[in-house]
């Protein structure tokens, strides 16, 4: 089982080191190879996703990814910015299905900005389409407008587009995921305004007919954003497009108290996957040893489950994470009075210990 380890920028190196430590402690036949990605890759090789890194990722069974980005690259031309690395990996590996679970751990109910009764027991799964939509749609660019409100003015444009097969395949992913949970799917779109959303909704309904045991409902994205903070537990599986999914998954992450707890998986049709925490590179706290490694450790568990077929090992990691929370270990982002402050490394060590 070959894993490409891509720590990236900022806190990426610190949190990935802890996840690697946990993986090593499992004593499985895992072959791990590390490569540069993001800003550090740009600094070393002039590109955020060097050929060698892409090759390693393509040949691996799974990619364990940290985070990319730093303000110091903000002025670079877009193609050289660290974010292009993750977009390039998604595109080149065909990682169209993004799983972002939002689970509220019992011990962290108080860490959310929402009232405890709204989020206690929260367990929702956001499935975001990841290789289409306005993120990748062509054409895009800048030009001088020839029509619109200001002909002759400079304008910029992007293209929101979805094809039927792109929607069909993510619909199947959502319905199949729902079958393993409470058999409910909420499809989120903006069909009252957008053509892409109307096609999205039509295809969801069609594919849904193949899953009579799963209940499908539809919600407009603005309403979904509101319902997520009003009554988040009403959702179970939420499926949506790339752009809406980007926004709603950040919103959902905060329901759980800390974005530092949330893993994610991005899969292609052969179950090859990229696994990364839902949070970013947090350059403001990089190098201080205070970042929460649990999202990355939980991402490693998802990797074992989805790409490496090691369900038992995945469960072991998840149980160990629960245990360290019960024991009271807390990194700064989830610290509260009466708990034990842990550094990034201490948290990783505690998880390794809890595995046994």
Interacting residues toward Mg ion by CB under 5 A: 246
Dist CA 48 CA 42 (whole Å)? 5
Given the residues 9, 133, 190, 211, select the one marked as catalytic.
190
Q: Are 281 and 8 in contact (CB under 8 A)?
A: yes
Residue 301 interacts with which of ligand IPM, Mg ion, none, CB < 5 to 8 Å by class:
none
CB of 96 to ligand IPM, least distance (A): 13
Residue 86 interacts with which of Mg ion, ligand IPM, none, CB < 5 to 8 Å by class:
ligand IPM
CB of 249 to Mg ion, least distance (A): 7
CB of 280 to ligand IPM, least distance (A): 7
Asked whether residue 184 is marked as a ligand-binding residue, the answer is: no
Asked whether residue 128 is marked as a ligand-binding residue, the answer is: yes
Given the residues 250, 323, 335, 345, select the one marked as catalytic.
250
Residue 83 interacts with which of Mg ion, ligand IPM, none, CB < 5 to 8 Å by class:
ligand IPM
Q: Which of 275, 293, 274 is nearest to 285 (CA)?
A: 293
Residue nearest to Mg ion (CB): 246
Distance in Å from the first CA to the final CA of the chain? 23
* Among 54, 62, 86, 174, contact with ligand IPM (rule: CB under 6 A): 86
Q: Which residue's CB is nearer to ligand IPM, number 81 or number 330? A: 81
Residue span 56-85 as binding mask against ligand IPM, x where in contact by CB under 6 A, dash where not: ---------------------------x--
CB of 243 to ligand IPM, least distance (A): 9
CB of 275 to ligand IPM, least distance (A): 12
Segment 228-257, which members bind ligand IPM (CB under 6 A)?
Answer: 246
Q: Which residue's CB is nearer to ligand IPM, number 82 or number 208? A: 82
How are beta strands 62-67 and 97-103 bridged, if at all? unpaired
HEC assignment per residue over the chain: CEEEEEEECCCHHHHHHHHHHHHHHCCCCCEEEECCCCHHHHHHHCCCCCHHHHHHHHHCCEEEEEECCCHHHCCCCHHHCCHHHHHHHHHHHCCCEEEEEEECCHHHHHHCCCCHHHHCCCEEEEEEECCCHHHCCCCCEEEECCCCCCCCCEEEECCCCCCHHHHHHHHHHHHHHHHCCCCEEEEEECCCCCHHHHHHHHHHHHHHCCCCCCEEEEEEHHHHHHHHHHCHHHCCEEEECHHHHHHHHHHHHHHCCCHHHCEEEEECCCCCEEEEECCCCCHHHCCCCCCCCHHHHHHHHHHHHHCCCCHHHHHHHHHHHHHHHHCCEECHHHCCCCCEECCHHHHHHHHHHHHC
Dist CA 204 CA 196 (whole Å)? 12
Asked whether residue 282 is marked as a ligand-binding residue, the answer is: yes
Would you count residue 274 as binding ligand IPM (CB under 6 A)? no
Asked whether residue 90 is marked as a ligand-binding residue, the answer is: yes
CB of 128 to ligand IPM, least distance (A): 8
Asked whether residue 246 is marked as a ligand-binding residue, the answer is: yes
Active-site residue flag, 222: yes
Residue 43 interacts with which of ligand IPM, Mg ion, none, CB < 5 to 8 Å by class:
none
Active-site residue flag, 202: no
Active-site residue flag, 162: no
Q: Which residue's CB is nearer to ligand IPM, number 86 or number 297? A: 86
List, by residue number, the catalytic residues.
135, 190, 222, 246, 250
Residues at the site binding ligand IPM, with contacts judged by CB under 6 A: 83, 86-87, 246
Residues making up the annotated binding site are: 90, 100, 128, 222, 246, 250, 280-292
Residues making up the annotated binding site for NAD(+) are: 280-292
């Amino acid at each position: 089982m070959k894993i490409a380890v891509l720590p990236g920028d900022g806190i990426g190196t610190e949190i990935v080191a802890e996840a690697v430590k946990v993986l090593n402690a499992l004593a499985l036949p895992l072959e791990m190879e590390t490569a540069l990605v993001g800003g550090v890759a740009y600094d070393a090789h002039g590109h955020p996703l060097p050929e060698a890194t892409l090759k390693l990722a393509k040949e691996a069974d799974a990619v364990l990814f940290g985070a990319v980005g730093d303000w110091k690259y903000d002025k670079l031309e877009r193609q050289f910015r660290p974010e292009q690395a993750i977009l390039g990996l998604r595109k080149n590996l065909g990682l169209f299905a993004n799983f972002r679970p939002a689970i509220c751990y019992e011990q962290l109910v108080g860490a959310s900005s929402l009232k405890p009764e709204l989020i206690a027991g929260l367990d929702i799964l956001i499935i975001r389409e990841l290789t289409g939509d306005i993120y990748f749609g062509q054409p895009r660019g800048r030009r001088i407008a020839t029509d619109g409100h200001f002909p002759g003015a400079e304008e910029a444009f992007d293209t929101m587009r979805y094809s039927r097969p792109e929607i069909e395949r993510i619909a199947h992913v959502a319905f199949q995921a729902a079958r393993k949970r409470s058999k409910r799917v909420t499809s989120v779109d903006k069909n009252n305004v957008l053509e892409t959303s109307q096609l999205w909704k039509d295809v969801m309904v069609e594919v849904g007919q193949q899953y009579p045991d799963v209940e499908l409902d539809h919600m407009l994205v603005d309403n979904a954003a509101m319902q997520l903070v009003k009554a988040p537990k009403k959702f179970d599986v939420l499926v949506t497009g790339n752009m809406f999914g980007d926004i709603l998954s950040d919103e959902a992450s905060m329901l759980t108290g800390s974005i530092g707890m949330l893993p994610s998986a991005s899969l292609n049709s052969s179950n090859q996957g990229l696994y990364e925490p839902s949070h970013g590179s947090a350059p403001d706290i990089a190098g201080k040893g205070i970042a929460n490694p649990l999202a990355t450790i939980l991402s490693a568990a998802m990797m074992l489950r989805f790409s490496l077929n090691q369900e038992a090992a995945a469960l072991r990691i998840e149980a160990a994470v629960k245990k360290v929370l019960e024991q009271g270990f807390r990194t700064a982002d989830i610290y509260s009075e009466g708990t034990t402050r842990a550094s990034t490394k201490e948290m990783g060590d505690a998880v390794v210990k809890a595995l046994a």
